[in-house]
Structure 1
Amino acid sequence: MSVAQTEAFFGADSPLRLASSTKAGFSYEPRPQQVAMAKAVAEALDDGANLCVEAPTGVGKTFAYLVPAYYYALATGKPVVVSTHTINLQEQIIGRDIPLLERMLDVEIRAEVAKGRGNYLCLRRLNQLADMDQTLLPDDSILGELGRLLRWAEKTSNGDRGDFPGGLSPVLWSSVCCERGTCTNKQCTFYRSCFLMKVRRSVHQAQIVVANHALFFSALAMSNDDGVSGCADPEQVSDSILPDYSAVILDEGHTLEDCAASHLGLRADTFVILRLLGRLYSDERKTGMLMAESAAPARAAVSDCRRRAVLFFQRLNDWLADQRQNPLRYTVPGHINNYLAEPLRRLDYELRQLIQREDDQSTKQELTAAADELKDQCAALDSFFTMELPEYVYWFERQGRDGQDISFNVVPVDVAPIMRGMLFSRPPVIITSATLAVDGNIGYFQHRLGAEEARTLILDTPFDFSRQVTLHICNHMPDPRAAAEAFQEEAAKYIQHYLRLTHGRAFVLFTSYNMMHEIAMRLEDFCAEEHLTMMIQGEGMTPRKMLESFKQTEGAVILGTASFWTGVDVPGDALSNVIITRLPFAVPDHPLSAARTEKAEREGRNSFFEYSLPDAVLKFRQGFGRLIRTKDDTGIVVILDSRIVTKRYGRVFLNSIPACPVEMF
């Protein structure tokens, strides 16, 4: 279906050549890697096969999959879903790549971004809240926000929270956003003007649907529960996230394992539970959904549940603080009594009784949605404390600004069996990333994800690394594990040397916040003396704001952890130096890493060589790849971890990056 058209697009008379000659600002150079990838994607789509493609930066992989995806969507009459990990890539595909492809083909491509329903304003819920006695609002500060929200609702064309100017309290938004279970569909007074319904119709009529991995795996989990792969009817918004698609393309595929694990498991949150109880009834303000006289038993159940929840969560928080480890793994079923199990079940009973007696359809749905969400939280808590799911790992994590919120995580240790059944059994699935291979082999990635039967393709880099990069390796550093203090002292000295050499314009990449802050303190005076602007992840700016500021600031230095190893793009002279402080082995005591290691050892496999090492190599390749983004970029990569040359396994890291000149120091 799409192979011949794809080959013609990238052939001698390619529209790319014509666009390059006629469109200002667009330059096309034939890239055999791009042609090879496009053909492989088209063949996999036509054959109904799964495919894993490693496509280094500069290959032009988005065009290599968008062209065959468009032709395949035309042929099948069903959309192709393109899922990414980062917002930046989504925006590039929707805002630049697809419009450019439209101009080249002289066609209109129906492309839409799919977002979760919670991103959209529900006009029925907003008006219901506005019609309340204002004294019944859950918080005095919400009154001003409600006024701004009402004025925005009259002007917005899409009701997308992301377009709301300024901040908005989570409590207010949770009361007015579209939620699963609250939609009355065609019975709703606002059905014709419903923002969610409009966007869902557009998504269901699209040829290319752009989503993120979190949404995709949430939809996959939901479709598995329902026994369907997608929803063919856009009117069924309460149960539908993505339409019935013909194929899925998963870009930034190196993030898939952890994304799948987090969204195919279970999770309960103290913040969510307390927020839901507050929506039902607030003892202090005498407000909420349960104000009717007939709701007295349910109100009493909420009050009892809240008292117990506040006490239980506070005691848990005090205990977790004493453990001095966050996240903290939970390993003994029933070690902690779930004191909320019975109160939540009693509350659920009272809510169901009330719902049965309720005549108002709108109120009935609001109560049902709240009851269902509380029931899901209760089920996740039960699974957590009883550890009822085998081959899952369980951990507490303290979160929020003051660390007072707790999440209870139930995550599959190995996603491969789940993914084989839920995803790869319904091809075609195309996975691509700049880093899928370890020492020239994609087998590790396929095994971790359950994609062993997929076709594979590894493409060469189109860049000249021997000219563009010099690799600097320290061969005499203290071991960062055995002598952390000495390592940090030496690392700070070398970081200063190389920052002076490039006058900033550098990423300094860390594997832990603790080491990052320790070295940041050692660099403060130096950066001030050298007139360098040091930006530290987690101190005031989001990673996205940091990146924007970095690009605009002369002599800038970013000290970052995981967010800056992958998914950030700084072409040109602004970034000329990437300093890798430590090889990015996963923190061995993180619950998920520890559980994966234990599983490998139980099965008689070498956990270091079969899990820890290849996982670290893929992350290392991502960090190395931050430097060269175009054929004109040049710079240095500095590695301060001597294990890359002193340990036998270090050769695997070096064999997995392009050959370039090496200077030892």
Structure 2
Amino acid sequence: MLGDDVKRTIQKAYTQFLEAKELKPRYGQKLMVAEIARTLGNIDLDDEGHNITEKNISVVEAGTGTGKTVAYLLASIPLAAHYDKTLVLSTATIALQEQVLHKDLPDLLRQSGLKFSFCLAKGRGRYLCLNKLERVVSDIEDSAAAMYEDEIIAVSSSDKVLYQKMMDKCADGHWDGDRDSWETELDATTWSRVTTDHRQCLGRKCPNIRDCAFYNARAAMDEADVIVANHDLVLADLALGGGAILPAPENSIYVFDEGHHLPDKALSHFASHSRYRGTIRWLGQSEGQWPKQIKAVEELSHFVQLAQPLESRFKECRTIFEEALPLVRDICEDIDVDQYSPRLRFEKGEVREELQEFARKASRALAALHELLEKLHKEIDTLINEESRAVPAQAMETMLNILGSSVSRAEASLSLWQSYKETSFDEKAPWARWVTLHTDSEPLDYEFVSSPVLASGLLNKGLWSRCCGAVVTSATIRALNKFDRFKLRAGLFDNASFEAVPSPFDFSRGELIIPNEAVEANRSFEHTQSLVELLPEIIDKKEGTLVLFSSHAQMSQVYDSMPADINELIHCQGHESKQRMIESHKKRIDRGLGSIIWGLSSFAEGVDLPGDYCKHVIIAKLPFSVPDEPLDAAYSEWIEARGGNAFMEVTVPDASIRLVQACGRLLRTEADSGRISILDKRLISKRYGSAITNSLPPFSRHF
């Protein structure tokens, strides 16, 4: 429980930090510190150090300017130390991760009086495998370790020079093996040859273990009080059972900044997918090449004996998939191959009985294959560690790589087809299932996908019910001024704490305008014509403007219709990189010239254009999403099946969040001012319009 000593530590650190920075306390920031301290301060640990309460999740919406990073760090670092837990700070974007790592944490360490250590956590794939690099540099033929065609990557002469340079810099101590610290950006294919995964890694048995970049980074993590990670890494760790990459949830207090992304990120981790023809291909290649691969370790009599059924297991699986290919063709017959993303979504996630029967049969065969591959992988891993070796270490390492790759492929296929065995609609735990045609391959391939519609149950079970405590924060968590949407999607407990703290900004410095000439955006042709006419009238060519579109087609059409004096000021998305657009825009504004950023939804969130860089935000239409994405459509379908109204319960709330994010591009500091123009009359002509406008900050309104 929170004692007076911890309270005093937090209060003293906050006061000292503000005085050192010559800052005044912000009301919303003080509320946020108090809310986090109160929630995490109620943690009750048993004799084993595990939290035995379910009241230690704090969800805080804190708008731009609140200073939420300082607030959650000042509150959570002393509390994590008090409970002897590791603070895992997770962000959704690299930009925020770098800001926290290189600015906020060092600043806090210098100015607050708090004593703590911190480090960055990355997945294994961001680090060099020195063992693999040595093999490449020594010209060991990697195709021997690649059973599948898509793993055989030709080494160019420039890559050979690069790999030797990597080896030299590692030997000289001038490179730490971190992909992100290499002097230039590394091509994904080039990098894939010299990194590894957990199944192909030799671990403590590797001769290069002392110089291993990944294990050295892991050692630093073990000593750190604060670990900076990202949502993907946290979710990947949870998918492995927790504690595989990061500290176990029971030993962690989490802070999820940009936490509104967490449910969607979780869905992508819990989804399964597999290409049908690709599965047949790798099964066939394995079946054909396995006898040759086993010959290299034929002296390992027990291993060879265990491996005897493997070729027949591959053949059994391949035969099952080949025999069902006509069924798959029949199911996909009506898919329009000319559409942008040709696919078929199975309504309510339910598929034909014949496909379910195939899935049951395929799952049984794949499970047997996967079990045997796992057993062989474990056996060769054990043999590598033995001092007395019947075959060269190199041959066993090659076998470990082959089996590691095979296990991963079998596991992915098994996971997918297990989820197709029984597809009756479950109102409590709905699933989405669909198949996408890949027309870029010859013959075309069928990618089957399965995903939970909600990540709530999985997050609840794997994260919220296990962690010592957690803080979830973002500038936009509520929808239509309520936390209900996020609570449902994230699977949070009823007794979690929810708080919206006020922004220090004077929102009356921003004007919200809906022009009289605005047209309802659902009248597509008329709306586009109105934009062509309106935009030249409302854009000030001498200032910084951000114009946001929801449709690439409309954005391009309006851009092509702009007069020359407007067009020459526009940095249009798709014509240059996002970063280049922002840099060019800022340079023009710094020279006292006008400039316009012309973009899509990616510019509506996470883009910081303070002061004169953005005096006018123009939003072409309400950001309603069209539920043509399989997961969005399945979620709406689930709402309707429960007797709800998907438009009012999903589409409108989601649009309100996106609109709040878009409007948030205007005021980035307390001194900022400007205007927001929304060129969609539905905000005032439709019944739902008032609910959306009421969820926006209290701008000065002109409509």
**Could you tell me which of 450, 453, 459 is aligned with 2:501?**
459
Counterpart for residue 25 of structure 1: none
- How far apart, in 2, do the equivalents of 1:509 and 1:620 lie? 10
**Could you tell me which of 234, 241, 248 is aligned with 2:254?**
248
1:25-424 residue pairs with structure 2 within 5 A? 28-48=23-43, 49-106=56-113, 108-133=115-140, 138-155=152-169, 156-223=174-241, 230-231=242-243, 239-243=244-248, 245-268=251-274, 322=337, 324-326=339-341, 328-331=343-346, 333-334=351-352, 360-383=395-418, 388=423, 391-396=430-435, 408-424=448-464
1:443-482 residue pairs with structure 2 within 5 A? 443-451=484-492, 452-467=494-509, 469-481=510-522
- Amino acid in the other structure paired with 2:341: N
> Secondary structure of the equivalent of 1:523?
coil
> Secondary structure of the equivalent of 2:472?
strand
Instruction: Tell me if the contact between 1:440 and 1:656 (Cα under 8 Å) persists in the aligned partners.
Output: yes
Structure 1 stretch 402-411 or stretch 438-447: which is displaced more?
A: 402-411
CA offsets, 1:296-348, max 9 Å, x none?
9979979x979x99x98998999866251526343152587989969988986
Structure 1 stretch 361-370 or stretch 384-393: which is displaced more?
A: 384-393
Displacement of 1:63: 0.6
Q: 5+ residue gaps in structure 2?
A: 44-55, 145-151, 299-306, 384-390
Instruction: Tell me if the contact between 1:510 and 1:580 (Cα under 8 Å) persists in the aligned partners.
Output: yes
Cα distance, 1:590–1:97 mapped onto 2, change above 3 Å: same
- CA RMSD of the aligned region, Å? 4.0
**Could you tell me which of 688, 695, 699 is aligned with 1:649?**
688
Displacement of 1:573: 1.3
Larger radius of gyration: 2
- Amino acid in the other structure paired with 1:562: S
Displacement of 1:128: 2.3
Q: How many residues align?
A: 632
Cα distance, 1:510–1:4 mapped onto 2, change above 3 Å: farther
Instruction: Tell me if the contact between 2:9 and 2:78 (Cα under 8 Å) persists in the aligned partners.
Output: no
Are residue 637 (structure 1) and residue 676 (structure 2) matched?
A: yes
CA offsets, 1:569-597, max 9 Å, x none?
22221122211112122212221121111
**Could you tell me which of 608, 622, 636 is aligned with 1:597?**
636
- How far apart, in 2, do the equivalents of 1:150 and 1:560 lie? 42
> Secondary structure of the equivalent of 1:47?
coil
Counterpart for residue 663 of structure 1: 702
CA offsets, 1:121-163, max 9 Å, x none?
1111221233344695934453421430331243253322223
Counterpart for residue 563 of structure 1: 602
What's the % identity of the aligned pairs?
A: 28
Cα distance, 1:7–1:265 mapped onto 2, change above 3 Å: farther
Counterpart for residue 15 of structure 2: 14
Structure 1 stretch 369-378 or stretch 140-149: which is displaced more?
A: 140-149
**Could you tell me which of 667, 687, 698 is aligned with 1:628?**
667
Displacement of 1:504: 5.7
Cα distance, 1:449–1:640 mapped onto 2, change above 3 Å: same
Displacement of 1:524: 7.5
Instruction: Tell me if the contact between 1:142 and 1:169 (Cα under 8 Å) persists in the aligned partners.
Output: no
Instruction: Tell me if the contact between 2:86 and 2:247 (Cα under 8 Å) persists in the aligned partners.
Output: no
Displacement of 1:257: 2.0
- How far apart, in 2, do the equivalents of 1:402 and 1:539 lie? 28
- How far apart, in 2, do the equivalents of 1:480 and 1:644 lie? 10
- How far apart, in 1, do the equivalents of 2:142 and 2:33 lie? 60
Cα distance, 1:130–1:281 mapped onto 2, change above 3 Å: farther
Displacement of 1:612: 1.9
- How far apart, in 1, do the equivalents of 2:561 and 2:76 lie? 51
Displacement of 1:605: 1.9
Displacement of 1:86: 1.2
- How far apart, in 2, do the equivalents of 1:640 and 1:85 lie? 30
Cα distance, 1:263–1:149 mapped onto 2, change above 3 Å: same
- How far apart, in 2, do the equivalents of 1:347 and 1:142 lie? 36
Instruction: Tell me if the contact between 1:505 and 1:556 (Cα under 8 Å) persists in the aligned partners.
Output: yes
Displacement of 1:46: 1.5
> Secondary structure of the equivalent of 2:471?
strand
Displacement of 1:93: 0.7
- How far apart, in 2, do the equivalents of 1:269 and 1:544 lie? 34
CA offsets, 1:481-527, max 9 Å, x none?
3x21221121232233333x154622222223333333333337453
CA offsets, 1:544-574, max 9 Å, x none?
4443443334443333333222122222211
